[in-house]
Amino acid sequence: MQEAETIYSEVPQDVPSWLAGLGLEQTIANRDVASPYRDVVHPASGAIIGQCPEAQVSDVDAAVTAAREAFPGWAALDWQERRTRLEAFADALWDNRKSLAFIVAAETGRPLRRAWSEVFFSVDYVRTIAAQDLPEIVYDRAGLKARLVHRPLGVAGAIAPWNAPVILAVAKIANALLAGDTIVLRPAPQTPLSALYMGQLARGIFPAGVYNTITGDASAGAAMTSHPGIAKISFTGSTTTGRVIAAAAAPTLKKLTLELGGNDAAIVLDDADADELAAWTYRIALENAGQFCAAIKRLYVHESLYDAVRDKLLALMAGASAGSPFAAETTMAPLQSQAQLARVEGFARDAAERGCTVHQTAFAPGTAGYFLAPTLVEGCSAGMPLVDEEQFGPVLPIMPFTDEDAVLREANSCEYGLGGSVWSRDVDRALALAARLECGTAWVNQHGAYSASLPLPFAKQSGIGMDYSHFGVLEHSRAMLLNARL
């Protein structure tokens, strides 16, 4: 991981010119496809940093047609051949990891070391998924021989979000291609450049039409979700948009994997390690601007540790530094857009108007971009927007408790169920409480710790289906029973 620090010395002197020189275009059937261009904004400054094509409905149709034509040949390849192609794709990502990290930092504004870490995890994800299998199940009984096998679905439409544009695109790509599906990827309009770059890298690895990338706004996504030529939609984003996608996909009964919003609670018991908890919380809930689906978004701390945890978080917040993602001293990520900044500021303002105590770090006067200083809010309670809704920003409510059953009810009271955590030096005690959380993943002494080799389930209104490990591949397959009478 030392490269995550040394990479700062290799940043192009003129990032916009460097990006323009990459010649990033949509990929359809392994060819450049141009469309009218629009600007891409750099969140750390608010300035235009590049341009990307704006897909038309005709581009969506062309990409789906190319994917449908490529599907029979790709599906007919044996599993090992598809595995080999994915491994080659992982190699290409690794060989171009620095360029990809520069692009992610440019389009998200996140510190370069964080962008590099995302690329590193993405390479590992592809390699891990490439090693997965979907074993057949054999049923041998008197007079009967049957096998449950898995077959590809067809064309998969992948709609990726802006908060982690590489890993959340790569996860969809790897799952689909190993299963034997072909794919049309549409990244978020705010972060299209990394997806276009990966599409270029894929051209020499996959047959024409297997891997297609288009860039566009919600109209392109809508054209995909209702397209009769697409058999599967994999989407990561808000619950509100997930409902719209489910409705659009219903007439053609597309198979869906939806990873949606979260309002994760962390419950800190009286024997927890306050230093470890504070460091983890600051890193994923505040320093990354809270822009992580499974960030800690509600922090419940036993009253005996409350003051210590609060003070440790405030001390960490004081060290936050905003600025260019290409400067090594920058630690804070900006919000992705002006609209998102205004929305998150609204949560803090509402809390203050309700009489809560709002602690906020002060950035240097004149700090450009969509930065919001880390904010810790005391005096919150259920019924407030900051507690009940997903803020997706660096504004964290911290609340004391004394009764474990009561705080568990509070943690389970929201409509979301992505993740949750319990913190204690007594792991068995924490596991017993974590098992009662109503969420897809319940962590102990960690939070948001995902691995490509472990499943990612969803609960409540945080999603449909399952992702990661072989379950992500399974979501891109259909079951078929071969049943013979002997």
Contact 308/266 with Cβ under 8 angstroms?
Answer: no
Beta bridge partners of 182: 155
Identify the active-site residue in 259, 287, 390, 410. Answer: 259
> What stretch of H or E contains 400?
strand 395-401
| Nearest-angstrom CA–CA distance, 321 and 189 | 27
Examine the residue annotation and report whether 259 is marked as an active-site residue of this protein. yes
| Nearest-angstrom CA–CA distance, 191 and 395 | 23
| Nearest-angstrom CA–CA distance, 412 and 414 | 6
Tokens of 165: 């544009």
Long-range contact pairs involving 454-458 (C-beta distance under 8 Å, separation at least 24):
456/259, 458/258, 458/259, 458/260, 458/417, 458/418
Q: How far is CA 471 from the centre of its chain?
A: 17
Long-range contact pairs involving 313-319 (C-beta distance under 8 Å, separation at least 24):
313/278, 313/281, 313/282, 313/286, 313/376, 313/396, 313/398, 314/359, 314/376, 316/278, 316/279, 316/282, 316/286, 316/374, 317/282, 317/286, 317/359, 317/361, 317/373, 317/374, 317/376, 318/361
Count other C-beta atoms under 10 Å from residue 479's C-beta.
11
Helices (H), 228-335: 239-249, 274-281, 303-317
Task: Report the phi/psi class of residue 199: left, alpha or beta, with left for phi > 0 and alpha for psi in -120 to 50.
Answer: alpha
Contact 280/292 with Cβ under 8 angstroms?
Answer: no
Examine the residue annotation and report whether 136 is marked as an active-site residue of this protein. no
Identify the active-site residue in 25, 52, 287, 293. Answer: 293
| Nearest-angstrom CA–CA distance, 247 and 253 | 10
Name the DSSP class of 285: I
CA-closest candidate to residue 377, choices 346, 410, 402, 405: 346
57's CB contacts (< 8 A; 6+ apart) are 219, 220, 223
Kindly list the catalytic residues.
Answer: 259, 293
